[in-house]
Amino acid sequence: MQAVVNTDEGIRTVQVGEPDGEGVRISVASAGICGTDVLFAGIGLTGFVYGHEFAGLDEMGQGYFIEPTIYGATCDECRAGNPQRCTEDGHGNLGIFTDGGMTERIVVPSYTLLPLPPQLPVRDACLIEPGAVAWHAVRRAQVREGERVLVIGGGSIGLLAAAAARHQGIDVDLEARHPAQLAAAERLGFGRPSGAYDVVIDAAGSATSLDRAAEVARPGARIVSLGVYLERMPVPGSAVSQVKELTYVNSVAYGRYQGVREVEEVAGMLAGNPELARTIITHRYPIADAREAFRVAGDRASGAIKVVLEP
């Protein structure tokens, strides 16, 4: 069967053996390419099958999203509903240093499975993963009634963060840069930026977007950072961040809230609003074309928002 790995020559679809071991065998139906995958391929990470955003069918034909967090379940963080902060040995993510879902079949622990609501097609369900990243960021912002919220970045995480905010009853504006992103934001009905904000969610993740977030923040505002920074986070200095007494909030992955899996809440949001997947998934490729799919995903000029592999 086929699987997607990174090599000295870049991303390649290769032949691998059938998976074995303890768990549930899933035939993967959709696997999204994340900005992190493009980043990891670019810096040459090899040795595992890529893909942490994926959904598929079990041997009975039941559709599942696979929550890719691998955790121990016994540490304080896991018991508090934060498996993304697990402190035990073996904590990690399928598709990041461990074989993931860009493959035809995978065996996963049963606790990772989320049965799909009937209204959510398995070919769209890979979007639950970036959706949950976005959903968790909105929750981390602890938005209060009447506060103004801006999302910076019109990629899949930014669009899904704005959608999550709106789903949670929060009015939200979105700032995007690229034409395809602006068109998507318009289609989904998010406002354009104006004035100052109590909460800024930075889904672009660059020095420029952190500067922009601080600029549009009201004094005392919270800035939620979703960026991935390999070394340091380039937060603007005293003249802005400290004079305004800004609070920076980190948000990584997702977990449980009052005992409910955030991935389950997002599955409900996507099932109830098919327009989200229709707008955000812009490209689909067979797994054999992973190299081209990665190229398109990494090229903003391509008009891509979310690129999905269909093994």
CA–CA gap between residue 28 and residue 126 (Å, rounded):
10
Query: Kindly report the CA angle at 238 between 233 and 242, in degrees rounded to 5?
Result: 95
**Is there binding between residue 88 and Zn ion (CB under 5 A)?**
yes
Q: How far is the CB of 67 from Zn ion (least distance, A)?
A: 14
Of 80 and 207, which has the nearer Cβ to Zn ion?
A: 80
**Is there binding between residue 70 and Zn ion (CB under 5 A)?**
no
DSSP 161-178: HHHHHHHTT--EEEE--S
What SS3 class is residue 31? strand
**Is there binding between residue 109 and Zn ion (CB under 5 A)?**
no
- Asked if 199 and 147 count as a contact pair (C-beta separation under 8 A), the reply is yes
Cα distances (angstroms) measured from residue 276 to each of 45, 62, 162: 31, 23, 11
**Is there binding between residue 57 and Zn ion (CB under 5 A)?**
no
Of 310, 264, 260, the closest CA to residue 283 belongs to 310
Size of the site for Zn ion (CB under 5 A): 6
CA–CA gap between residue 141 and residue 217 (Å, rounded):
13
Exposed / middle / buried, residue 2 (Cβ in 10 Å: 0-12, 13-18, 19+): middle
**Is there binding between residue 75 and Zn ion (CB under 5 A)?**
yes
Of 91 and 105, which has the nearer Cβ to Zn ion?
A: 91
Of 88 and 289, which has the nearer Cβ to Zn ion?
A: 88
Near Zn ion by CB under 5 A: residue from 29, 86, 137, 309: 86
Angle between the N-to-C axes of helices 128-141 and 262-272, in degrees from 0 to 180, rounded to the nearest 10: 110
**Is there binding between residue 81 and Zn ion (CB under 5 A)?**
no
What SS3 class is residue 200? strand
Of 85 and 295, which has the nearer Cβ to Zn ion?
A: 85
Query: How crowded is residue 268: how many other Cβ atoms within 10 Å of its Cβ?
Result: 16
Strand partners, 92: 70
Q: How far is the CB of 69 from Zn ion (least distance, A)?
A: 10
Region binding Zn ion by CB under 5 A among candidate stretches 43-51, 78-86, 110-118, 192-200: 78-86
Region binding Zn ion by CB under 5 A among candidate stretches 36-44, 63-71, 93-101, 303-311: 63-71
Q: How far is the CB of 241 from Zn ion (least distance, A)?
A: 33
Of 112 and 181, which has the nearer Cβ to Zn ion?
A: 112
Near Zn ion by CB under 5 A: residue from 11, 24, 29, 78: 78
**Is there binding between residue 121 and Zn ion (CB under 5 A)?**
no
Of 6 and 112, which has the nearer Cβ to Zn ion?
A: 112
Of 167, 63, 58, 66, the closest CA to residue 121 belongs to 63
**Is there binding between residue 72 and Zn ion (CB under 5 A)?**
yes
Of 74 and 208, which has the nearer Cβ to Zn ion?
A: 74
Of 109 and 193, which has the nearer Cβ to Zn ion?
A: 109
Q: Give the interface with Zn ion as residue ranges (CB under 5 A).
A: 71-72, 75, 78, 86, 88
